[in-house]
Amino acid sequence: MAPPDTRSFALNPADYGLPTREQLRSLRIWDIHYHGLWEGDLRKHEETMVTVDRMGIERVLSLDIAGTPADPLGERMPAEKKKELRRLLEAHSDRVSVLVPVDPSDPLGSLTKIEEWVANGPCVGIKYYGGNPGSVRCSHADNDVIIRRAGQHDALIYIHAWYQMGGEPRRPGGANQPGESTLEDVAILARRFPDVSMICGHSGGDWELGVRAVRRLPNVYLEFSGSDPHSGQVDFTVAQVGVSRLVWGGHGPSRSYSTELAKVFDADLTRPQREQIFGGNLRRLAGPIFRKKGYRL
């Protein structure tokens, strides 16, 4: 028997204690961790957006335009490919927004990229990968010019941060990649820029440590995708930092939307609180730059 089409469901999610697609849509979910455009692969993007649509996600924010972890500034990407991506973003600005990767080991190159893609382009923010060619973490002073410029443009700032257990002696963050920040790095940076909001990606992976590291910094927001779904994670985070500092990411296509949605539906939250986490907080942060660019909020 052929499977049903991609928007239909053979069984009703409501019969299983889950929201229906329409209920998910009504939450106005914005996904700030979208990898469907990894390496500019438009076929993968098209395929991934089918699931985005099926799961009722309103908007995705790509983190991979004109850059990869090995080449964050996209210097090896052909100019024609960049033009193709730019056309795609302009045509689909109602569904797809972009944070461009920067390279803290090349601050001047990063400033050029911010001018090209954010100040004078379709993008709404910058993204720090989990490592970079020069192995520079986000706490290094070379980041200051990047953060200052991003702040001047009201750009969203997203920083991948993890605590990978390992190393010798074995410790949280001891197995991080060269240049991969921990949340303590984010905290150091955030203290230097108390008026600039930053989104800390993954809650550090080990979220019990990650939340502790930034809980007293009101300009640090926590996104929590890309790790296993632990029951109680969102309850804990809300209790520590309040619901207004959480931002939702889907991490597709490498992670399942089921994993990331479950983290929020597991938590004991009211509907308005869920709305904040799934998109309200991000829309508040993105409001200034979206209005500048005339994008729908």
Partner 1 sequence: MRKLTRRRFLNGALLPAVLEAPPERPIQDGEPEPGAALPPDIIDTNVHLFDWPFRRLKYAGAKALVAKLRRHRITQAWAGSYEGLLHKDLDGVNARLADECRANGAGILLPFGTVNPALPDWEEDVRRCHEQHRMRGIRLYPSYHNYTLARPELARLLRVARERGLIVQLAVRMEDPRVQLPMTRTPSVDVAGLPGLLAELPTLKFQLLNAFNATESLRGLVGRRLIAQIRVTLDFSHVEGQGGLGKLIAGDPANGRPPLPVERIVFGSHAPFFPCESAVFKLFESPLGRPDLEKVMRGNAERFLNG
20 by Cβ neighbours in 10 Å (0-12 / 13-18 / 19+) ranks as: middle
Count the residues of the shown chain that bind partner 1, applying the rule CB under 8 A: 59
Nearer to partner 1, 154 or 184 (CB): 184
| Residue (of 209, 211, 224, 207) closest to 281 by Cα position | 224
Interface characters, 154-193, with partner 1 (x: CB under 8 A): --------xxxxx--xxxx--x------------------
Minimum CB separation from partner 1 for residue 118, in Å? Answer: 28
Decide: helix, strand or coil at residue 165.
coil
- Options 49-57, 72-80, 132-140, 214-222: segment touching partner 1 (CB under 8 A): 49-57
Q: Left (φ > 0), alpha (ψ -120 to 50) or beta: where does 230 sit?
A: beta
Residue 168 phi, psi dihedral angles, 5° rounding: -135, 110
Minimum CB separation from partner 1 for residue 240, in Å? Answer: 14
Q: Does residue number 131 form part of the binding site for partner 1 (CB under 8 A)?
A: no
Minimum CB separation from partner 1 for residue 251, in Å? Answer: 9
Minimum CB separation from partner 1 for residue 274, in Å? Answer: 13
| Residue (of 24, 11, 83, 12) closest to 278 by Cα position | 24
Site for partner 1 (CB under 8 A): which residue of 263, 269, 277, 290? 263
Q: Which residues of 268-282 are buried (b: 16+ CB within 10 A; e: fewer)?
A: ebeeebbbbbbbbbb
Q: Which residues bind partner 1 (CB under 8 A)?
A: 1-18, 20-23, 48, 51, 54-55, 162-166, 169-172, 175, 205-206, 208, 227-232, 235, 252-259, 261-263, 265-266
